[in-house]
Structure 1
Amino acid sequence: MRWKVTLRLKSVASGVIVGLLVTACGGNEEPEERTTAAQQCDGTLSSEASHALERLLGTREFDAAPLGGLGRSAEQLTGDYAKRKRSSLHPPMCRIGDGDNTDRIDITFGLYGDGELFGDIHPDGLHAYDLGQEAQSGRQKAYLFVRCVSPQLDGTHERAARIRGVLESRGFPLPDTPATREANLTVLHSVTLAVVKKLGCVDNAGLSDEPVFKPKP
């Protein structure tokens, strides 16, 4: 009888060891989900913006994209305006990565004061475009400023909500060319357009469905 118990214990132990080895070798691991450019940022990227994102990161496959960023950003901006904040900054609405390394693009939104516009200032590496209230773009950063009048934002008929979108790329070098700058703005424009539509901004806060790039001197 004792040898039967011993045999069973050895069998159990062997099964545990095999299970641990299989797990250690990744036998039970689920493959990481990959998504397309169009699925990023709550699906707010237009076809043109999706292609621009693929060119920027040099891939057609991206990290799994969490949902809810669009609604969260709209709620944050609504709350900021209700609290009469002149300027605000929040964590990224969306973070876009290619999964193979730390390269990523962050897109954030907040309110801005008039004193935060670039105006006649021309920061190194940024180029002005006639888009929205003001737009600046470079190889690793882009800004888009708009003004929103909306029935969802009480008081905007007297003082428009001033909304700033920022795109920032991290971890990978991009050439400082018009193509890179316009690709950054194409992605930022598409996400910003979705935000102002979510907020019910009149005339989409002055943004057209597709961006038209007119560099300013």
Structure 2
Amino acid sequence: MTTARPAIRTLSGLLVAGALATGCSGGEEPDRGPSAVFAADVCSEGLLNQDAVHALALLTGGATAFKPPKNVGDVAWAAGVLERGYAKNGGSLGGVVCRATPVDVKSRHDLSVHFEIESELQRTGERSESGKGYYWEYDLGRNALVLPDSGRLYFDCASARLAGSDKAVPIMAAVSVREAPANVDPRALREANLTIVHSAARALAKELGCKDGGGLPERLVVKEKAAPTR
């Protein structure tokens, strides 16, 4: 794999620039209607920090109003699903904790966030995908694999709710967008996805009581590790 030139930077400049490009700041917000919710409220409480809320708006084309989410659990629910699934099967689908669908019927920028504990067999896929040169890789957690329309962050959680405080269990936090905005810098989109999975993973690590917060920094600093080779 070809290694990208190291790049370390904060996210504020890219997210603000992307938000301006999609029109999600400035001017009056449209009437949300009686059943719509804001970007800050569309995901389960505590899942997204302020930077991640801005990232969600960028990835959904500057949307400010969203349909009320259905069939979505909160972080505590997801942690319980992961805990029970791991105890029974050694792996678990943690379910969807965010489903952001813009009210504008013309928009196709739907976004969702979910968690997963992969089985030992599936974890070989994590390593092989990392080496295929298809994703941008970032130095975060065990590894972070990102594209403009998706992101996956793998981190280790040693918790009494899983395998105990002395054994780390790899967890994946994932975000996907049905159609990423075409008029936004791809790098800004990638780093917006990274912002969301970082915030979501931190929230889950706190809920599960992962040792040392799953090794995730409190504040995200973007550090490219490798670029796609194809």
Unaligned runs of 5+ in 1: 1-30
Please give the alpha-carbon distance, in whole angstroms, between the structure 1 residues aligned to 2:167 and 2:80: 19
Establish whether residue 56 from structure 1 lines up as the match of residue 62 from structure 2.
no
The one-letter code sitting in structure 2 at the alignment partner of 1:179 is A
Please give the alpha-carbon distance, in whole angstroms, between the structure 1 residues aligned to 2:127 and 2:66: 33
Deviation sequence 1:98-147 (CA, Å, 0-9, x none): 122343111111112331323651343x2000001110110111000011
Establish whether residue 47 from structure 1 lines up as the match of residue 50 from structure 2.
yes
Residue of structure 2 aligned with 1:96, choices 100, 117, 124: 100
Superposition TM-score, scaled by structure 2 size: 0.72
Partner of 2:175: 167
Unaligned runs of 5+ in 2: 1-32
Establish whether residue 138 from structure 1 lines up as the match of residue 147 from structure 2.
yes
Residue of structure 1 aligned with 2:216, choices 203, 207, 212: 207
Tell me which of the two structures has the higher relative contact order, counting C-alpha pairs closer than 8 angstroms and 6 or more residues apart. Answer: 2
The correspondence of residues 6-155 of structure 1 with structure 2, limited to 5 A, is: 31-43=33-45, 44-57=47-60, 58-65=62-69, 68-85=73-90, 87-101=91-105, 102-112=108-118, 113=120, 114-118=123-127, 120-124=130-134, 126-153=135-162, 155=163
Residue of structure 2 aligned with 1:157, choices 138, 152, 165: 165
Residue of structure 1 aligned with 2:193, choices 184, 193, 201: 184
Give secondary structure in 2 for the equivalent of 1:165.
strand
The one-letter code sitting in structure 2 at the alignment partner of 1:166 is A
Q: Is the 8 A contact 1:34 1:61 kept in 2?
A: yes
Please give the alpha-carbon distance, in whole angstroms, between the structure 2 residues aligned to 1:191 and 1:149: 17
Q: Is the 8 A contact 1:138 1:176 kept in 2?
A: no
The one-letter code sitting in structure 1 at the alignment partner of 2:200 is V
Give secondary structure in 1 for the equivalent of 2:214.
helix
Please give the alpha-carbon distance, in whole angstroms, between the structure 2 residues aligned to 1:172 and 1:32: 27
Please give the alpha-carbon distance, in whole angstroms, between the structure 2 residues aligned to 1:123 and 1:176: 20
Q: Write 1 or 2 for the structure with the bigger share of strand.
A: 2
Please give the alpha-carbon distance, in whole angstroms, between the structure 1 residues aligned to 2:39 and 2:77: 20
Q: Is the 8 A contact 2:73 2:95 kept in 1?
A: no
Deviation sequence 1:140-171 (CA, Å, 0-9, x none): 11000011011233x33343222111111014
Q: Which runs of structure 1 show a deviation greater than 6 angstroms over 4 or more consecutive aligned residues?
A: none
Percent identity of paired positions between Structure 1 and Structure 2 = 31
